[in-house]
Structure 1
Amino acid sequence: MNKLTEVSPDRQARLRALRRQIVQAASLTTHWEEVAPLGIAGVDACLNGGVATGALHEVAAADHRSTPASIGFLLALITLLSGTLKSFILWPFTKAASAFGVPYAPGLKFFGLDPARIVFVRCTNARECLWVMEEGLRLGGIGIVIGTRAKKMDLTASRRLHLAAEQAHMPVLLLRSYNDGSPSAAVTRWRISPAPSAHDEFGFYKNARFHVALEYARSGKTGEWEMEWDHGAISLRLSSELGDRAAGENPAA
């Protein structure tokens, strides 16, 4: 063997060890690829099986008046992602982020959430909220972290939050302002507006309905649906056979 191509036994051993590590790493999936199905075939197909459980996700209203609907959809996602977890849900917020009020017990129960499991933290500013979210991801006993995306959150902070979610094997859901166009590391972005709800025999509204647009997904697929929250079955479903109206590819990001 030419001296220039000779490899010492020690280096050969290190190379073999490195190859084993590469093979092991290649056989693993990143945690954000572990998913929680929403139970709607067309939606889950766009998400490669469901919502990633160890990743950052964002929910935005279509306009200012649609903010309550976006909060309702967020609560539905929280319920579906938390499943049977007995761990707590951490939800820091600022005064500015609570312009439409904060969730109250009967409303939370409508979405199948136990108010006793939600830890609300009132923060003085967006920076403090971000700190609470990041610290919550490092703690044991927390299952989901919820927050409001500040317009000042840059891509670096967003990436840091996503990586923390991935490392903690925990979903992070952020409410995003309807007019926030800043870049984000979120693996999904949803745009929500209210849809007309059906009435029962007494004229009262039945299940809450949402027009749901999946604007961005890491899979590259998007779609629009009309969904309703079935509080009896604790599930999301299409509000009609025409609820799955569109699906396509994301434009190049």
Structure 2
Amino acid sequence: MGLAERERRIAALRERIGGLAPERGRPVVAFGVDAIDDHLPGGGLRLGALHEVAEAGPAAEHAALAALFVGGLLARLAGPVLWCLPGRDLFAPGLAAVGLHPDRVLYAETRRETEVLPTMEEGLRHGGVAAVIGEVARLGLTPSRRLQLAAEATGSLAVVIRRWRRGSPEPGAALTRWQVVAAPAPPPSAPGLTRARWTVELVRARGAEPRSWLVEAPDAQGRLRLSADLADRPLAAPQRRAAAG
């Protein structure tokens, strides 16, 4: 058995064991949408843990929707946020529009993608921040384990935003993996702009089955809500394919 195959099997075993661990009583940040929170162990996204978010579609490499999704989540946390990325392309007004005020964000522009994950780990181990976010194309098993351990040690939320270029996601230690893709919005019932709609998919989670929801993008307080025509029902497979297409 090769080393890579062995690492994959160990990761799968760890994930199965992790899924058996009770999540009750562990601190979480709730999405504020009952259909999502009730589906997740503990009622939300666990703090002191690593999570992954990616974007589907032609703009996946830029991951703008993924960043907004994460920004809305962070709006519901108190305290400063460390955001690590290789270049200066994070749109602060966009984050402010989903509730994450620029004054709360500490930017770490590493210039090189290879330095993003070490910077994340250092920020997590230092403590004193509510969350540490990193934007990278790839996340190997060993770095993801290091980030998970660092997050556990301080209780901070760790999120890796995956900027896909090609290939499939590697095995990792993240507790959850999410995917966000733009969905068609209905015509407005009155003059004016409507909130964008996304298909938010829980691709993988310890202790929860994969599932998708059709939601409206976060408002100025970071609040998601189910699309009105979803009526508290999970998004069916044909609708998911149509939204992703």
Whole-angstrom distance in 2 between the partners of 1:225 and 1:148: 24
Partners of 2:68 and 2:95 within 8 A in 1: no
Q: Which residue of 2 aligns with 1:52?
A: 46
Alignment match of 1:201 (pick from 190, 198, 203): 190
Q: Matched residues in 2 for 1:33 and 1:182: separation?
A: 27
**Corresponding residue for 2:81?**
89
1:1-253 to 2 correspondences below 5 Å: 33-48=26-41, 49-66=43-60, 67-80=63-76, 82=77, 85=78, 87-95=79-87, 101-104=89-92, 106-151=93-138, 153-178=139-164, 179=166, 180-198=168-186, 199=188, 201-202=190-191, 204-232=192-220, 234-242=222-230, 244-246=234-236
Residues 150-207 of structure 1 show CA distances to partners (whole Å, capped at 9, x for unaligned) of: 42x32011111011111110111111134442111111111110112353633x4322
Q: What are structure 2's unaligned runs of at least 5 residues?
A: 1-20, 238-245
CA distance in 2, matches of 1:142, 1:44: 24
1:177 maps to amino acid: R
Is 1:46–1:222's contact at 8 Å kept on the other side of the alignment?
Answer: no
Q: TM-score, normalised by structure 2?
A: 0.76
Cα contact 1:197–1:205 (8 A) shared by 2: no
Answer whether contact 2:68 2:94 (CA < 8 A) is retained: no
The 1-side partners of 2:222 and 2:65 are apart by 17
> Which deviations, in whole Å up to 9, do the C-alpha atoms of 1:214-246 show, x marking residues without a partner?
100111322111111342554111012426225
Q: Which runs of 4+ in 1 moved over 4 A?
A: 28-32
Rate the CA distance shift 1:92–1:240 in 2: closer, same or farther, 3 A.
same
* Mapped partners of 2:66, 2:149: distance in 1: 25
C-alpha spacing 1:54/1:32, structure 2 compared with 1 (3 Å): farther
Question: Match of 1:164, SS?
Answer: helix
Greater C-alpha Rg = 1
Take 1:182 and 1:116, find their aligned partners in 2: how far apart are those partners? 34
CA distance in structure 2 between the partners assigned to 1:32 and 1:71 by the alignment: 28
TM-score computed with the length of structure 1 as normaliser:
0.74
Q: Which amino acid aligns with 1:214?
A: L
Cα deviation for residue 78 of structure 1 reads 1.9
Deviation per CA, 1:25-63, whole angstroms, max 9, x where unpaired?
xxx977994222212222112212111011101111112
The number of equivalent residue pairs is: 209
Higher strand share: 1
Unaligned segments of structure 1, at least 5 residues: 1-27, 248-253
Tell me the alpha carbon deviations over residues 93-147 of structure 1, each in whole angstroms, 9 at most, x when there is no partner.
113xx6xx3122x322211111011011110222321121111112243111000
